[in-house]
Structure 1
């Protein structure tokens, strides 16, 4: 006999399912990135929560301390100022030339000592709790500056030139250091002028692309993840062979997520190398903090893909496979024990059996919606969600009861003359093959 022809209705469902799942897989990386742009950058609380702890990071503190100390030295010129003070002291005391020359020998050590004093004062400020609080306050203001930078409104602390050069204004920090020096009794600190110091953080031409991605992402990042989620549901719901559709989709999502994770790793390497050795470690720290949300989401998707891949592979295998047959026997055994204990479920079990497919789909969809609402998505959240889904599905299998009429039809089907003849005719063939 020839194979049963595929119905036109099934062909249409398969076509729509394939298109929906293909679009969902292709749009998944874009949905992650656009959602990251909205949640990570536009959300002030998350932005400050991400970058706020950097104030206590040793690499960030070292960069800020060295930059401020060097800029103050360039402005005040400790060596020149100390030399002038020593010369003035010698003239005021009317010292002989030999004594003045001897006094001049201590000028350089004094200058080094003054610079060390300033360095220690700056370090004390930068490593203090007050600086960390000030850092958070500045970040709260800077969050608006960052969004303005990416939107092209370059009017704040951060500025990006057309060639991708990023500069950071340290004027507020220097003002606070100056006040701290004055309060500590360093007299000459009052002479430090108000300077507008800008630190060149480096040139990253790809930031122009980041600006475009941000502007597009803010527009679609809020609703695109839900569109992708709906496409997955539509594609799997319309699939003729759902388990196989889930298996194939899981493979492509896994490959896409791994590729995205690799892109983030290479992006970090490129960003660190682009700014040079001086600011490379600092850029690496900032990159890790900013990309933590996106990396967490991608890792969660990888975990979800692996779990669904394994589950769908089991369900696409032969029903006589050790895993599926063993699970079925285990469930039947537990049902019999529940029945023996009086928990027969009655008509409720029959009603649950008739709606078992809808209930399974409902459990999975509700769990999927809850996981999709977790921000950021994490591997732990995915694992816990899958464990809860498995427990609920297993509980459903235990409480459903197949109606007697359905069981009778299934038994009659397996013992029908046609099936008996099929088994009988297959035995000689099997015996002949064995003899050969």
Structure 2
């Protein structure tokens, strides 16, 4: 019975190895995505450092100037009849403000406040249900001071009350909280599971060199798929924007936030190809076993068993 089962053992080992290696290669890009979301986007310091350079991006400055200028004009309309006439001057003043050091300070402070408010809502399960709000009064105060310094009429009438602005609707908080908890858990377990499955798959393989080569190629494929997913996500994100004028600003923000993830995808691609290439070259340049030479006979023919003399 064991003689019939022995030839099938390499096939079973190779099948198990292929399954484990495939799972490891599938979990690798998913683990990179979860780690990026949990340790990159969910860290306020890293997030602010990532978006801080966007304050000097022309597309982002123009988008902020249009949004803030429209809001200021909307606030002036019911308070003075000159609101519509002052619209172009207000927008020009806000656009000029976005090119100052004060705007960069306000940009970082506003992003930090929004990020901390969102994280607080996602991490606090006992928080009261409701939208995530942020007080943007300090930003409005800076704009008002800028307009007043430029001797803009009615600038001192711009209200700077502590108005709570909703950044996340109440209906989306519960779903985002569950998603954050899943990502936070997956960021630790997915990379660890990928490493364990890859090592186990290589260890149980009948030919470990081939399993290592397959693991490298699978990792490279996972990195390429992750880079493709980032590109598709960018295209879909920009396509869903209702305002085409602000798509360059949204593209700049998307590229800044996904820069680390793109780097991780290219690292996976390069690492996987390097491992596969080294493993393949090592197998080709390794020592080869020569087949045993046939035993020569004096007559040049095959050796015959000695004849048995008949017993007398």
Do they fold alike, i.e. is TM over 0.5?
yes
CA-to-partner distance for each residue in 1:125-165, whole Å, 9 max, x for gaps?
221112212222222222222324656963233xxxxxxxx
Counterpart for residue 146 of structure 1: 118
SS in structure 2 of the partner of residue 221 of structure 1:
helix
| Cα pair distance change 1:294/1:145, threshold 3 Å | same
Structure-1 residue corresponding to 2:260: 293
What SS does the corresponding residue of 1:267 show, helix, strand or coil? helix
Write out per-residue CA displacement over residues 262-317 of structure 1, whole angstroms, 9 at most, x where no aligned residue: 22111111111111214322222211111111111111101112222222232344
Q: Say whether 1:40 aligns with 2:40.
A: yes
8 Å CA contact retained: 1:69, 1:118? yes
1:31 is displaced (CA, Å) by 0.8
Matches of 1:71 and 1:308 in 2, distance apart? 55
Q: Secondary structure at the match of 2:132?
A: coil
Aligned ranges 1:350-361 → 2 under 5 Å = none
Q: How does 1:4-153 map to 2 (within 5 A)?
A: 5-6=6-7, 8=9, 14=14, 16-77=16-77, 81-82=81-82, 111=85, 114-148=86-120
Question: Using the alignment, how far apart are the partners of 2:178 and 2:236 within structure 1?
Answer: 19
Matched with 1:99 is none
The answer to whether residue 212 in structure 2 is matched with residue 246 in structure 1 is yes
Structure 2 CA distance for aligned equivalents of residues 307 and 206 of structure 1:
43
Counterparts of 2:230 and 2:166, CA distance in 1: 26
Distance in 2 between the 1:206 and 1:185 partners? 43
Separation in 2 of the partners of 1:192 and 1:273? 35
Q: Is the 8 A contact 2:222 2:268 kept in 1?
A: no
Deviations, residues 219-273 of structure 1 (Å, cap 9, x unaligned): 2212431231232222223322111112222233333322222221111111111
Residue 233 of structure 1 is matched in structure 2 by 199
Distance 2:293 2:43 in 1: 68
Alignment of 1:307 onto 2:274: yes
Q: Which runs of 5+ in 1 are unaligned?
A: 84-107, 158-168, 318-323, 329-409, 429-436
* 1:130-279 alignment, distance < 5 Å: 130-148=102-120, 154-157=131-134, 171-194=137-160, 196=163, 213-276=179-242, 277-279=244-246
Q: Is the 8 Å Cα contact of residues 71 and 197 (structure 1) preserved in structure 2?
A: no
CA distance in 2, matches of 1:47, 1:258: 25
1:421 lines up with 2:297 in the alignment: no
- Root mean square deviation, CA, Å: 3.9
C-alpha change, 1:139 and 1:193, in structure 2 (3 Å) is closer
Report if aligned partners of 1:78, 1:115 keep a CA contact under 8 Å in 2: no
Shift, 1:206, TM fit: 11
**How far apart in 1 are the matches of 2:46 and 2:263?**
14
422 and 78 in structure 1: CA distance in 2 versus 1, 3 angstrom threshold: farther
In structure 2, C-alpha distance between the alignment counterparts of 1:185 and 1:228, rounded to whole Å? 63
| 1:7–1:73 CA distance, 2 compared to 1 (3 A) | closer
More relative contact order in 1 or in 2 (CA 8 Å, sep 6+)? 2
Please identify which structure carries the higher helix content.
1
TM-superposed CA distance for 1:211, in Å, is 6.2
Structure showing greater radius of gyration is: 1
SS in 2 for 1:156: strand
What are the superposed Cα offsets for residues 146-204 of structure 1, whole Å, 9 maximum, x if unpaired? 324656963233xxxxxxxxxxx754422220122234443521112247596999x9x
The 1:190/1:206 distance shift into structure 2, 3 A limit, reads closer
Q: TM-score, normalised by structure 1?
A: 0.56
